[in-house]
A and B are shown apart, each in its own frame.
Chain A
Amino acid sequence: MTAQIRITRRNQLIAFITLCTVYIFLPLLFINTPYVVFIMTQMLFFTIFAYSFNFLFGFTRQLFLCIGAFAGIGAYITGILLRESIVGVVESVILSTLTVGFIGWFVSYLSVRRRLVVIFTGIFTLAITLAFNNLVIGLVDITGGETGFRVRLVSLGLLDSLPLYVRFYYLAAATLLTTAFISFYLLSYTKIGYAFRCIIDDEVSSGLIGIDVAKIKMITAVLASGLLGYAGALYGLFSQLITPSYYGFLSLDIPVQLIVILGGRATLLGPFIGSAIISILNEALKFLGPLTQVLYGLILVLLLAFFRNGIVDFVKRRIVPWFF
């Protein structure tokens, strides 16, 4: 029994280190084709967003339909603070992280305390998305309205010697891999992993055996939202342009949902796999133009109807049982 667990963990660790190695060396192959690195960086940011959504929805059943809005709030706070030269980059990003973390906690607190079920949390957070969009478009003087505003290129310290997109690639990769590694550690080596497995399975029983479900949901929401604020701010600095369309429901939430469901809810490799597939698909289908949105919708419907548990679950059941 314990031997089996040891083998599982060893395999998982090997898979994880392989993944890290690939992510560290992959951009070096494309160092002369900035476009590829740009796409890969974008993929990393979406993987980070998907990680947040995965922890909210996959692990703790909190359907936050405001991933784009949360990332957007992070981006706008940092963007505006830098544009007005109020504080430096580091302070702005910290402020974005804390603000969005706080909003996430508040939303989770309401939904836990008022016992909103998954679907009501969904509606409630969708309203936040709508409010965010209207606010950003309405407050033209501050946000630049529909067209947004440009952000100056910021210095990333040691990374500045690298080509432009490669800098942000490594920044995003560091964020993502750190997040993934901490998650991996917590889930595999601590009681928290056990608690998550119980909560995913049955919330009522989890409470009965002494798990503080409300607390775990709220802590998860704070951390996942903080991550969204942080990654959103970086995404804004990377794009050097902050407009509502980058953080809209269609352009951010839908792909993130697609990534998580395709890859596998409540899994650690799911978001990596999902985002890789979606990125490649997105590039391959560029010629379709706006029709890709239709296609995304269609894929999402099909996934929900026939492949709800995602790729990781499939591999785990059919091929290698230690997959995670």
Chain B
Amino acid sequence: MNIIECTGISVFFGGLPALRKVNLGVEKGEIRAIIGPNGAGKTTLFNVINGVVKPSEGKILFEGRNITGKPPHVICRMGISRTLQIPRVFKDLTVVDNVMAGALFSGRLKGDMLEKYVNDVLEMVGIADKATVKGGQLNIQERKKVELARALASKPCLLLVDEYMSGLNPMEIEDAIDLFKRIRKEYNLTIIWVEHVISAVSSLADQVTVLNQGEKIAEGKPEEIVVDDKVVEAYLGERVVKHT
């Protein structure tokens, strides 16, 4: 059974469609990448899933339960965590407090387990050495790590990751790919992941969904997607000369 099933999701902002009848089903344990040019509706889709934006049409089932239109805090407590494209850590809280907050309010962990769990997450993400630094003093990559740790600390079943790799150098991308493989295994996660870095998508994603101008134009394995005519067209424009 799919852990999340979005059917016919449409979102209109003042009459302009941001998403049009998008269907998305993700299997438990899968890493699903969502790619598409700027303005394709990737982040809007995340906003709809975790309740920041109410869809104009459509229905979202999470583990068989209807979560359409539920507010973000309820969806978080049900087991969907999210990181943002531009990370928003708590600036006046230390790193460990940031992550602790994630563990504390999801209500998905028992009291005496909290501290150990938080420390494990900090180690896993690789930010444990900054535990006592305040969120506001971190650079953008560190903030991304803290936000990821905070999302993991709420013990989700489904993790939504918004552009984790942008701005990383090739070495760091390797590390990040490795990190996501480990957290999927360790925490038994399903991950939906918006990304621009195609090389990372190819080596990490099980399935890829391509959005363009609010519509789903392709879906399949990474190696199929990169040669799909519609996808190439969306990214690069129409082919002028057809290869023979």
Contact = CB atoms under 8 A, between A and B. Distances in A.
Contacts of A213: 73
A196 to B, nearest CB: 11
A166 B190 CA distance: 66
Interface stretch (B4-12, B90-98, B232-240): B90-98
Interface residues of A, number: 20
A228 B72 CA distance: 32
A294 interface: no
Contacts of B90: 197-198, 201-202, 205
B82 interface: yes
A269 B199 CA distance: 54
Interface string A202-244: 1011111111111000000000000000000000000000000
B93 A208 contact: no
Contacts of B93: 197-198, 201
B76 interface: yes
Interface string B44-74: 0000001010000000000000000001111
B187 interface: no
Contacts of B97: 197
B127 interface: no
A34 to B, nearest CB: 44
A194 interface: yes
Contacts of A6: none
Nearest to B94: A1
B73 A207 contact: yes
Nearest to A197: B93
A107 to B, nearest CB: 20
A194 B101 contact: yes
A209 B101 contact: yes
B170 interface: no
Contacts of B104: 191, 194
B76 A208 contact: yes
A244 B97 CA distance: 47
Q: How large is the interface on B (under 10, 10 to 19, 20 to 34, 35 or more residues)?
A: 20 to 34
A202 B76 contact: no
A317 to B, nearest CB: 12
Contacts, number: 69
B121 to A, nearest CB: 13
A205 B88 contact: yes
B77 interface: yes
A100 to B, nearest CB: 28
Contacts of B101: 194, 198, 209
Contacts of A1: 96, 132
Interface string A174-207: 0000000000000000010011011011101111
Contact of A210 (B88, B89, B106): B106
B193 to A, nearest CB: 17
A70 to B, nearest CB: 28
B91 A210 contact: no
A120 B187 CA distance: 43
Given A194-B101, A198-B101, A202-B90, A207 B71 contact: yes
Contacts of B41: none
Given A208-B72, A210-B76, A210-B154, A191 B92 contact: no
Contacts of B72: 207-208
Contact of A208 (B82, B91, B96, B107): B82
B32 interface: no
Contacts of A211: 73, 105
Contacts of A198: 90, 93, 101, 105
A191 B97 CA distance: 12
B42 interface: no
A195 B92 contact: no
Contact of B50 (A195, A200, A202, A208): A208
A201 B104 CA distance: 16
A212 B150 CA distance: 17
13 contacts: A191-B105, A198-B93, A201-B92, A201-B93, A202-B89, A207-B71, A208-B81, A209-B151, A210-B73, A210-B77, A210-B154, A211-B105, A214-B71
Interface of A: 1, 191, 194-195, 197-198, 200-202, 204-214
